[in-house]
C-alpha cells in the first residue's frame, strides 16, 4: 500500500499523536518513514528603530531540541520495527518544507497533525496543515 510515509512534526503534543499514528500505519503496511521537522531561520528584527537579534547560539539550541525529539521518535520506530529516517529543515514556510521533503524522499503519504484552528483565525491565517492539503500531490492523513 504505502512504501515511504512522511511524518511531519513540530514537537507538540498533538504532533506526537500524529507520529504515533504514522508509525502504527507504517508498521501495518511495512512502510518506512521519513520524519521531518521544519524550524524557522533565526532573523534580526527592527522595531521602533531598535534592532533585535536572536540570542547567540539559538540555532544550536534548536538543533539540540530537534535532535532529542528525533532520538525519541527513532526509538519508537525501532520498537515498532519500522525503518526511520529523520530530516531537520530550516525554512520559514513549514508547509513548503514538508512538501519539498515528501517529493525529495519519494513519499507516498504525508501524516501530520491538525491544529484545529477554527473561525476567523482559520479563514485569515490558515494553517500549515491546510496549506499542505491544498498543495500536496500525494494523500495526506490528518490526525486530531
C-alpha cell at position 7: 511524518
CATH classification of the domain holding 109: 3.40.50.620
DSSP string of 79-144? HHT--EEEEEEE-S-HHHHHHHHHHHTT-SEEEEE-----HHHHHHH--HHHHHHHH-SS-EEEE-
Q: Are 84 and 77 in contact (CB under 8 A)?
A: yes
Number of structural domains (the chain) is 1
Number of C-beta neighbours around residue 125 at 10 A: 9
Q: pLDDT digit of tens for each residue in the chain (144 aa)?
A: 899 999 999 999 999 999 999 999 999 999 999 999 999 887 777 777 787 777 778 889 999 999 999 999 999 999 999 999 999 999 999 999 999 999 999 999 999 998 755 554 455 445 899 999 999 999 999 998
What gap in Å lies between CA 35 and CA 131, rounded to an integer?
18
Confidence (pTM): 0.87
Helical packing angle, 58-80 and 13-29, nearest 10°: 40
| Residue given cell 521537522 in the structure block | 37
Its domain, for residue 71, covers: 4-143
Amino acid at each position: 500500500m504505502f512504501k515511504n510515509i512522511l511524518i511531519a512534526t513540530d514537537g507538540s503534543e498533538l504532533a506526537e499523536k500524529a507520529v504515533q499514528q504514522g508509525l502504527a500505519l507504517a508498521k501495518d503496511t511495512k512502510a518506512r518513514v521519513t520524519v521531518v521537522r521544519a524550524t524557522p531561520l533565526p532573523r534580526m528584527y527592527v522595531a521602533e528603530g531598535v534592532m533585535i537579534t536572536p540570542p547567540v547560539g539559538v540555532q544550536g539550541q534548536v538543533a539540540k531540541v530537534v535532535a532529542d525529539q528525533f532520538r525519541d521518535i527513532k526509538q519508537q520506530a525501532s520498537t515498532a520495527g519500522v525503518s526511520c529516517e529523520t530530516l531537520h529543515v530550516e525554512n520559514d514556510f513549514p508547509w513548503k518544507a514538508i512538501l519539498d521533503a515528501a517529493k525529495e524522499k519519494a513519499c507516498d503519504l504525508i501524516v501530520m497533525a491538525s491544529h484545529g484552528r477554527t473561525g476567523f483565525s482559520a479563514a485569515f491565517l490558515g494553517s500549515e496543515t491546510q496549506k499542505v492539503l491544498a498543495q500536496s500531490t500525494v494523500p495526506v492523513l490528518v490526525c486530531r
